[in-house]
């Protein structure tokens, strides 16, 4: 089996595989090209499986790490169980260092399937539904500006500031992430500025009369910005009954606000799965306690760069990380367990970590758990 990026003249073949895999209608007049690189598997010269490969820069403890995001994972039904997707994932892991990919993400249709490739479910996101009729304690607000594309630099700079506040959020570098034709698409983005005239929050939403207003993105830098944006959305309470805010996690700022609203319900949105492709770089990028600590991880990974023992000695927020092929260790981690413990921001202790599949404790050292406390964690992007 050959694994490689497709050439432009193979785009139609990939789109046909995607159509057969996802059961959508192939249109020869429209489906002629793909906008991102595609890693594909070929059997006897025939394209049988493929994965779209996106590149992002993702916040991890204030450091923006190069991240590969996989999407559109597909294979021909008659060639499944031949290992095409497995070989593609192995290829991506083996070229991770040369591409400077530290992390990987995808939206899993089956987390048990993607665990085979080292991925773990990291985000458990919810849509929070709140009746507008129970939000009268939030003051209405009209001090907002409709985004029309001319303010792109301002709103993109705001998003970059927000990305530093939650782990795994991505930087953006393209206008496509913000709808600049709100009236034509009924896709509205409003932002507000603080008392100094600096943008400090935005909300992107659609209205489905008479049922609901659905927020796809809500980012802000202060409680004032959050309440100001929700206060603005209250102006729609005469034409819709319910506010729905998607992509929230337990303890998120809006979840805290929603705790004071009667009749709120939570609906699971699904989430994203993540993987570590460069363990040493990730450990070096973590934000550590001021107090001295030392721990050793045995990483049981198929990829050479992640195999072996990682010794971490930290103090004053930084760490020295040494990678060895073998040695004593305090904790053993499979790739999915490593993602859960080091990326998900769940803030595990020894008592809770023992229930993570693929994790084994080998000492009573607590320094690793001190180094990875609870952190607000949210990976998503508009195209994924």
Please name which of 136, 206, 170, 91 lies closest in space to residue 383, comparing C-alpha atoms.
170
Q: What is the Cα 137 distance to its own chain's centre?
A: 33
pLDDT less than 70: residues of the chain: 381-384
Per-residue pLDDT tens for 330-340? Answer: 999 999 999 99
So what's the pLDDT on residue 381? 67
- Percentage above 70 pLDDT, the chain: 99
**What is the pTM assigned to this prediction?**
0.92
- Beta carbons within 10 angstroms of residue 325's beta carbon: 8
Q: Measured between alpha carbons, how far is 73 from 85 in angstroms, rounded to an integer? A: 8
**305-313, long-range: CB < 8 A, 24+ apart:** 305/96, 305/97, 305/277, 305/278, 305/279, 305/280, 306/276, 306/277, 306/278, 306/279, 306/335, 310/279, 310/280, 310/283, 312/283, 312/368, 312/371
So what's the pLDDT on residue 384? 39
- Beta carbons within 10 angstroms of residue 268's beta carbon: 9
Per-residue pLDDT tens for 127-162? Answer: 999 999 999 999 999 999 999 999 999 999 999 999
So what's the pLDDT on residue 383? 47
Please name which of 343, 367, 371, 375 lies closest in space to residue 356, comparing C-alpha atoms.
343
Domains of the chain: 2-101 (3.40.630.30), 126-270 (3.40.630.30), 273-371 (3.30.1050.10)
Q: Which tokens in the block code for residue 218?
A: 């809500």
So what's the pLDDT on residue 19? 94
Count of all residues that appear for the chain in the document: 384
Q: Are 58 and 67 in contact (CB under 8 A)?
A: yes
Per-residue pLDDT tens for 371-384? Answer: 999 999 988 764 43
- Beta carbons within 10 angstroms of residue 240's beta carbon: 18
């Amino acid at each position: 089996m050959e694994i490689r990026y497709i050439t432009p003249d193979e785009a139609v073949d990939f789109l046909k595989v995607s159509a057969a895999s996802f059961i959508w209608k192939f249109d020869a007049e429209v489906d002629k090209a793909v906008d991102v690189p595609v890693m594909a598997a070929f059997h006897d010269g025939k394209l049988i499986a493929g994965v779209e490969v996106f590149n992002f820069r993702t916040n991890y403890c204030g450091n923006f790490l190069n991240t590969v995001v996989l999407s559109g994972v597909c294979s021909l039904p008659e060639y499944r169980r031949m290992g095409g997707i497995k070989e593609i994932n192995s290829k991506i892991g083996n070229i991770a260092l040369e591409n400077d990919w530290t992390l990987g993400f995808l939206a899993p249709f089956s987390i048990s399937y993607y665990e085979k490739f080292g991925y773990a479910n990291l985000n458990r996101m919810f849509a929070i539904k709140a009746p507008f009729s129970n939000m009268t304690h939030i003051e209405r607000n009209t001090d907002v500006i409709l985004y029309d594309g001319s303010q792109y630099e301002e709103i993109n700079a705001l998003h970059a500031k927000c990305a530093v506040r939650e782990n795994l959020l991505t930087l953006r570098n393209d206008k496509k992430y913000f709808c600049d034709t709100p009236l034509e698409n009924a896709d509205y983005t409003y932002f507000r500025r603080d008392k100094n005239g600096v943008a400090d929050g935005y909300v992107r939403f659609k209205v489905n009369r008479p049922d609901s207003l659905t927020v796809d993105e809500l980012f802000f830098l202060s409680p004032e910005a959050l309440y100001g944006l929700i206060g603005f959305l209250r102006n729609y309470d005469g034409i819709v009954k319910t506010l729905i805010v998607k992509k929230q996690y337990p303890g998120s700022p809006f979840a805290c606000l929603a705790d004071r609203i009667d009749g709120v319900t939570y609906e699971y949105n699904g989430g994203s799965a993540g993987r570590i492709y460069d363990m040493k770089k990730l450990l070096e990028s973590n934000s550590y306690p001021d107090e001295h600590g030392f721990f050793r991880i045995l990483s049981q990974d198929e990829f050479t760069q992640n195999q072996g023992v990682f010794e971490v000695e930290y103090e004053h927020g930084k760490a020295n990380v040494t990678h060895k092929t073998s040695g004593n260790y305090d904790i053993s981690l499979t790739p999915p367990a490593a993602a859960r413990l080091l990326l998900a921001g769940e803030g595990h202790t020894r008592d809770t970590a023992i229930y993570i599949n693929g994790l084994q404790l080998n000492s009573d050292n607590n320094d690793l758990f001190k180094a990875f406390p609870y952190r607000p964690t949210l990976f998503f992007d508009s195209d994924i």
